[in-house]
Structure 1
Amino acid sequence: MKILLTAINSKYIHSNLAVRYLKAFTKDLDCECTIKEFSINDRIEKIFEKIIEEKPNVVAFSCYIWNIEYVVKLSNLIKILDEKIEILYGGPEVSYDGEKFLSQNPGEYLIVEEGEETFRDFIEWKLGIGNLKINNIKGLYYKNEKEISFDGERKPMDLNKTVFPYEKDDELHNKIVYYESSRGCPFKCKYCLSSTTHGVRFMDVSRVKKELQFFIDKGVKLIKFVDRTFNCNHRFSMDIWKFLIDAKTDATFHFEISADILTDEEINLLNTAPKGRIQLEVGVQTTNNEILKNIDRNIKFEDIKEKVLRLEKNRNIKQHLDLIGGLPGETFDMFKKSFNDVYSIAPEEVQLGFLKLLKGSSMRFETEKWGMVYSPYAPYEILSTDSISYDEILKLKRTEEVVDKYYNSQKFGNILKYFMPKFESPFDFFFKLGTYFKNKGYLDRNISSADYYRIFMDFTEEILNENTEILSEIIKYDYLKFNKKKWLPTFLNRVVEKDIHKKIRTELKKENIEDVHVERFDIDILKYEICGEIVKDTKYVIFDENNEDNIKYFE
């Protein structure tokens, strides 16, 4: 028997942890389990072709909000071609209405909640091992003629019984690798599926260290922990963070945390981490304490801010702060304030997301209370509430696009610094820029990387009615820091002074400095970068071609 474990990821660089757990947990059984991963950017026809080429007896789909439409279409195609191929569903998108989903879609089986033990029982039943019957398999919906049968939910398993889902031969070099050391969450946020589970289960810390060492030895560059709140167990988080801080690696480890419960001991430890070793994702969601109460987040933004600022001091920990638009009771102006509050902390990334009323979340039961209108199609995103209109949601989305491009990329820092004093608040600037993008049609088509810089020149002339003499020097500097230096877009000024450049290079060779780029600036650009002060002065800047942080003047 051959089972094809099929994952359709949201991006090519992503990997699916769930299907790997299923394969690992059943690898001792006499069944061929094969993993095939695709992305939602692949054509459905091509995915279908690859599935059929495997000649599976059962196709098992890992179902999420981002891929469920693909899964349903593929399931229909499979059954149209070959009715004998059975289909098994699993994952969060089908776990909370399993009976309804299976009754309305092609396929024979559906696993709810955790899948490892149920999947193993399913295979053993298929292979005829022991006396196991399908009506005795907990956690499995199945079609019994035209009816849907279910023998009840399965108890959460001991995490230490799971089998490490990665192998030596796995090609992980260009992938984001996902890893979990715990399941569950101690908090009960209404919009989150974790609010439906009870308690948190942890893996043995010695096992976690051993498995993390596997990634380190394999040279994986980015490992993302999928634990819902990694630091909810102080002793556990301290132990793992210390291990990673002391490890000999250039890998980055990403954690979702609750910043307000960080202890002094944890902050002091994190401040010793090598730069780039640890990333923290902090779910702020809103800085309005009353709105936080509406979603059962019993925290205060002031507590989050205090901890985040303490971690920001050394600039060795990359922090990613999340906000959610469309929360119950939050107006457009309230969201604007939340954005400005978070921006004032200056985290490396500010992620603007929008409320999704997920299946199984308690937020779905409060739609009338808050006048919520949301899409009935995955990902079930909010369209409006009695506090924010659809038009205002669209305005936030435009703002989100330019924030993600210009702020989160961290490649336009000096340019953004130039504009901030010209607007009442950071939000006002990004909102105005997002509106400009909309009016110019830039949100509806692809534009070149050089155009993303040129837009600032046009925006300044058309919206602010100002000249761009100083701005062009700042844009040129940010452009050269992160792009090829031999070519400069025509809208930026390059003064070619062959004699001066030759003299500079001759002097640098005496110091054995050769792989550099020399550029003239008509303002003291490095002073501006440090303190934001604009001083007109001709300076020759030396860019190290091998180290973007090594930039200095030729004196």
Structure 2
Amino acid sequence: MNKRQSVVLVGLRYDEFYSHTLAIGYLKAYADAQPELAERYGSVIVERTVHEPLSAQVAEILDHNPSIVAFSCYLWNFSRVTELCRAVKAARPDLRIVLGGPEVSVRGPSVLAEIPEADVVVQGEGELTFAEVLRAWAGGRDLRSVLGAIWRRDGEAVSNPERPLLQDLSVIPSPYLTGIMRIRPGERVALETSRGCPLQCRFCDWQNLQTTRWFPAERAIKEAAVIQRQSSGIYYFVTDADIFTSKERAAQLLRGWDRVTGAESVHWHMQTDLAHIDEDLARLLNSYKFSLGSGIESIQPHVLKRMVRGFTRRGVERSIGHLKTLAPAVGVHLQLISGLPADDLAGYRRSLEWALSWKTDSLFLPHALGLPGAEFGRHPEKYGIKKVMKEPPYYVLDTDTFSTDAIVEADRLAFRVLNTHKEGLFRRVLDAVGPEQRPEAPESVAATPWVDLYERFNAYAVKTTDFFKRGADWYERGNALAKVMDQEPISFPQLPPAERRDASNSIAEFARAELESGGRPELLPDILHFLRAYEAMCLWEIGLSTPGFGRLLPRLLGGLPVDSPDLRFMGWEDLGVERSLFHRAHQIHVVSAVRGAYAEVCPIPRSAHVHLEDQDRPERWEALFPEGGKPFAVTVLANVYWAVPPTLRTEFLTWVRERNPNPQGRLVLIVDDVGLSALESLPRPGGAPPAAPADLAGLRADLEAAGWALAEEPRSLSAAGKLSPRVQWTFFSAVPAPRAPAAAASAPTAARRDA
């Protein structure tokens, strides 16, 4: 029997944002499923990022002694693919190189001319074509009979007829179900449930005019179930052009994904034309597991007509209304493109104004591209495009209506808005101080008060906060590809707490000035309460490393080590310092869409989660403490008690006690004196968001009513703030009260200890 030839499938990501290149997983899964190919070839996947050393990547590829190397090519990796082709062919002139992917698929002959080391370019969907290339080479034949192959014959490029689209996608095995791609905790995963797009957008290189073809819905649900058994804290990007073109199938997927993931922290991001979302789908989407992205691109009718983009503003607005009313938990992300032909700076500002006025959770603000496979790249003059960057990312640089200088200014505006809007702290405050009315015909108004507000804030913040200064510096230094791929260059939640505290203080002064100048000072108390609560969280993070807290914690835990697995901890999702401190504890997290990144997921296995906005869902809070679980020596509730719905607090504390099989299990309850602001929760139509002022007397009454007795006098620590002169934390240590009725006793007085 002949020795199997080695095939190396190379996926080069831009960074570590996504864990796997799905395309090469499909290539391997399909080829491995063909018995005659599995007998002749052994394939291996090599996945790296474009930022790693070239020499290390060459060495890793050659270590597998390949006969064939295949690359999946995209705009972000094509330069590195070109370098790798030259390097591996120089080291091994006998090996063959296959290229595929959107960056090369539609211009195969020119790619073969640019990269003489490449032997074949695969057009379109690659699974069947790549397998036939392997089959032909295994039989010693050339590629003349392989549909979809562009290859060399006597030094000349030969373009074979295109391969018809595969109609039955089920013949392609899943790389997740076959175990080819295994997922680790916290990874981001691309999941495909369909191919094709019925739209004809001229800026897109998806090779549109395709009918939509579906993988079996049961398979997509099973993929999620298998991944969930392997790992936790998974973020899924559903790659479909629009998963909601079939309402019944979308409903089946949403129900199935929700069922197989249960209470785990998990997230699905899906693309759609928002006009497809009716009231029934909105109700199904009411979960923090889901978010929707919608490519609006522009609200200007003449711009939409030029790029052949379907958009019904009234339909989209109606669906956003359904989501805000019936699905307040789902995230809504809007995309607008700057530099489009037929648009100009004023028109782009109007589109941006419309998007900001709807107060959605996220924006994506890319630049117009003339991709080689798109109409904008192939026939730019037809669409009024005067100049396109020749290399990736193929920026549109000048059009008949959008001058080069205006495009540069639009890009700067997009970055300034995005760098503010993406952070929940800033977005929530600006939403509160922004205009109260929305224009009836936003595509024709001249005024852009929301855009003006964001520009005023950014100009102020660049002068007063390091975060915005660094962001502005990054933008001015960054290259074009980085600006396409890194729209969020600096993560605000990962900054040191002192820097985040200073930023919250800065935005307080801005809000005060805006409201006073606008004659709306009555809104200021809620905003200041919200920012004081955020400042308190930052001060708490700082305090966790102080000697005072270090001395107090062991006593509160009753001698139990802080890293004990017999500890149950409940705190805020975005406080990684606490998670590290209690790293072996069973973790329960309260998630705030305002404090942290909206769609972030928690990678901690078997952790439980509840969202701050679940105020009217007592079953979500009860599910945090299942009956018959593990016994815990200590339960710690760290600064989350004010988040518990007030009508549920006594019952909540009863669950903590009764659903712990350890009858002596201690409770440590930490609260601040700031409470929870009304702005902490996302607004819901038809009702004011809940506020939770600090109520220590009520807390003592709740403890007693729930069957807890204080084990010692409450203790306190405090720290100086700027928005609050002092923030004080009170530490309660309680044990289950004796079952026999006891006479009421006066509550002990808190013993103060300043940090």
- After TM superposition, the score normalised by the length of structure 2 is 0.62
Cα displacement (A) at 1:85: 2.7
- Does residue 113 (structure 1) correspond to residue 121 (structure 2)? The answer is no
Deviations 1:259-299 (A, max 9, x none): 1123343233334xxx3222211111112233222211222
**After alignment, is 101-110 or 88-97 more displaced?**
101-110
Deviations 1:80-127 (A, max 9, x none): 333223211000100110011112212111111011111111111222
Residue of 255, 267, 274 corresponding to 2:270: 255
User: CA 1:431–1:178 in structure 2 vs 1: closer, same or farther (change >3 Å)?
Assistant: same
Identity over aligned pairs, percent:
20
User: CA 1:51–1:475 in structure 2 vs 1: closer, same or farther (change >3 Å)?
Assistant: farther
Cα displacement (A) at 1:452: 5.8
In structure 2, what is the equivalent of residue 297 of structure 1? 309
Secondary structure of the structure 2 residue equivalent to 1:113: coil
User: CA 1:362–1:480 in structure 2 vs 1: closer, same or farther (change >3 Å)?
Assistant: farther
| Matched-pair contact (CA < 8 Å) for 1:289–1:301 | no
Residue of 7, 26, 29 corresponding to 2:31: 26
Residue of 411, 417, 429 corresponding to 2:453: 429
Secondary structure of the structure 2 residue equivalent to 1:355: coil
Cα displacement (A) at 1:460: 8.3
Secondary structure of the structure 1 residue equivalent to 2:542: coil
| Matched-pair contact (CA < 8 Å) for 1:395–1:431 | no
| Matched-pair contact (CA < 8 Å) for 1:330–1:388 | yes
| Matched-pair contact (CA < 8 Å) for 2:195–2:240 | yes
* Alpha-carbon distance between aligned partners in 1 of 2:450 and 2:305, rounded to the nearest angstrom: 26
* Alpha-carbon distance between aligned partners in 2 of 1:104 and 1:226, rounded to the nearest angstrom: 30
* Alpha-carbon distance between aligned partners in 1 of 2:406 and 2:456, rounded to the nearest angstrom: 14
In structure 2, what is the equivalent of residue 377 of structure 1? 391
| Matched-pair contact (CA < 8 Å) for 1:196–1:361 | no
Mapping of residues 48-59 of structure 1, within 5 Å: 48-59=58-69
* Alpha-carbon distance between aligned partners in 2 of 1:118 and 1:165, rounded to the nearest angstrom: 18
Residue of 7, 11, 21 corresponding to 1:7: 11
Q: What residue identity is the alignment partner of 2:295?
A: G
* Alpha-carbon distance between aligned partners in 1 of 2:508 and 2:269, rounded to the nearest angstrom: 37
Cα displacement (A) at 1:321: 1.2
In structure 2, what is the equivalent of residue 280 of structure 1? 292
Cα displacement (A) at 1:197: 4.0
Q: What residue identity is the alignment partner of 1:242?
A: R
- Does residue 73 (structure 1) correspond to residue 83 (structure 2)? The answer is yes
- Does residue 518 (structure 1) correspond to residue 533 (structure 2)? The answer is no
* Alpha-carbon distance between aligned partners in 2 of 1:382 and 1:156, rounded to the nearest angstrom: 30
- Does residue 172 (structure 1) correspond to residue 228 (structure 2)? The answer is no
Mapping of residues 171-210 of structure 1, within 5 Å: 171-173=182-184, 174-210=186-222
* Alpha-carbon distance between aligned partners in 2 of 1:513 and 1:401, rounded to the nearest angstrom: 47
Deviations 1:64-94 (A, max 9, x none): 0111111111112222333223211000100
Cα displacement (A) at 1:41: 2.7
User: CA 1:307–1:125 in structure 2 vs 1: closer, same or farther (change >3 Å)?
Assistant: same
* Alpha-carbon distance between aligned partners in 1 of 2:372 and 2:728, rounded to the nearest angstrom: 56
| Matched-pair contact (CA < 8 Å) for 1:398–1:438 | no
Residue of 411, 415, 426 corresponding to 1:412: 426
User: CA 1:362–1:276 in structure 2 vs 1: closer, same or farther (change >3 Å)?
Assistant: same
Cα displacement (A) at 1:408: 2.0
Q: What residue identity is the alignment partner of 2:296?
A: V
| Matched-pair contact (CA < 8 Å) for 1:57–1:86 | yes
Cα displacement (A) at 1:526: 1.7
In structure 1, what is the equivalent of residue 56 of structure 2? 46
* Alpha-carbon distance between aligned partners in 2 of 1:218 and 1:309, rounded to the nearest angstrom: 38
In structure 2, what is the equivalent of residue 244 of structure 1? 257
Q: What residue identity is the alignment partner of 2:449?
A: S
Q: What residue identity is the alignment partner of 1:78?
A: V
Residue of 386, 401, 417 corresponding to 2:415: 401
Cα displacement (A) at 1:451: 4.1
Deviations 1:296-354 (A, max 9, x none): 12222221121022112232211111111111211212211211211222211111111
| Matched-pair contact (CA < 8 Å) for 1:399–1:433 | no
User: CA 1:537–1:218 in structure 2 vs 1: closer, same or farther (change >3 Å)?
Assistant: closer
Q: What residue identity is the alignment partner of 1:485?
A: W
Cα displacement (A) at 1:206: 3.1
Q: What residue identity is the alignment partner of 1:349?
A: S
Deviations 1:116-168 (A, max 9, x none): 1111111112222xx86421111111122311123211111121211111244
User: CA 1:457–1:485 in structure 2 vs 1: closer, same or farther (change >3 Å)?
Assistant: closer
In structure 2, what is the equivalent of residue 99 of structure 1? 109
Residue of 276, 280, 283 corresponding to 1:265: 280
Residue of 516, 523, 540 corresponding to 1:485: 540
* Alpha-carbon distance between aligned partners in 2 of 1:480 and 1:57, rounded to the nearest angstrom: 61
- Root mean square deviation, CA, Å: 3.8
* Alpha-carbon distance between aligned partners in 2 of 1:45 and 1:459, rounded to the nearest angstrom: 47
| Matched-pair contact (CA < 8 Å) for 2:175–2:181 | no
Secondary structure of the structure 2 residue equivalent to 1:117: helix
User: CA 1:386–1:430 in structure 2 vs 1: closer, same or farther (change >3 Å)?
Assistant: farther
Secondary structure of the structure 2 residue equivalent to 1:514: strand
- Does residue 125 (structure 1) correspond to residue 136 (structure 2)? The answer is yes
- Does residue 135 (structure 1) correspond to residue 156 (structure 2)? The answer is no
In structure 1, what is the equivalent of residue 472 of structure 2? 443
Q: What residue identity is the alignment partner of 1:392?
A: A
- After TM superposition, the score normalised by the length of structure 1 is 0.82
Q: What residue identity is the alignment partner of 1:255?
A: M
| Matched-pair contact (CA < 8 Å) for 2:457–2:510 | no
Cα displacement (A) at 1:515: 5.0
**After alignment, is 407-416 or 177-186 more displaced?**
407-416
| Matched-pair contact (CA < 8 Å) for 1:48–1:78 | yes
* Alpha-carbon distance between aligned partners in 2 of 1:321 and 1:116, rounded to the nearest angstrom: 33
* Alpha-carbon distance between aligned partners in 2 of 1:140 and 1:424, rounded to the nearest angstrom: 51
Cα displacement (A) at 1:479: 4.8
User: CA 1:436–1:113 in structure 2 vs 1: closer, same or farther (change >3 Å)?
Assistant: farther
User: CA 1:458–1:223 in structure 2 vs 1: closer, same or farther (change >3 Å)?
Assistant: closer
* Alpha-carbon distance between aligned partners in 2 of 1:300 and 1:359, rounded to the nearest angstrom: 28
Q: What residue identity is the alignment partner of 1:112?
A: Q
The unaligned stretches of length 5 or more in structure 1 are 490-497, 545-554
User: CA 1:407–1:258 in structure 2 vs 1: closer, same or farther (change >3 Å)?
Assistant: same
Q: What residue identity is the alignment partner of 2:221?
A: K
Deviations 1:464-487 (A, max 9, x none): 989999988754533555x57241
* Alpha-carbon distance between aligned partners in 2 of 1:411 and 1:460, rounded to the nearest angstrom: 11
In structure 1, what is the equivalent of residue 171 of structure 2? 161
In structure 1, what is the equivalent of residue 159 of structure 2? 150
In structure 2, what is the equivalent of residue 223 of structure 1? 236
In structure 1, what is the equivalent of residue 96 of structure 2? 86
In structure 1, what is the equivalent of residue 333 of structure 2? 320
| Matched-pair contact (CA < 8 Å) for 2:332–2:361 | yes
Secondary structure of the structure 2 residue equivalent to 1:33: strand
* Alpha-carbon distance between aligned partners in 1 of 2:85 and 2:540, rounded to the nearest angstrom: 50
User: CA 1:248–1:185 in structure 2 vs 1: closer, same or farther (change >3 Å)?
Assistant: same
Aligned length: 520
* Alpha-carbon distance between aligned partners in 2 of 1:101 and 1:288, rounded to the nearest angstrom: 37
* Alpha-carbon distance between aligned partners in 2 of 1:39 and 1:514, rounded to the nearest angstrom: 45
* Alpha-carbon distance between aligned partners in 2 of 1:267 and 1:46, rounded to the nearest angstrom: 48
| Matched-pair contact (CA < 8 Å) for 1:414–1:474 | no
User: CA 1:208–1:418 in structure 2 vs 1: closer, same or farther (change >3 Å)?
Assistant: closer
Q: What residue identity is the alignment partner of 1:209?
A: I
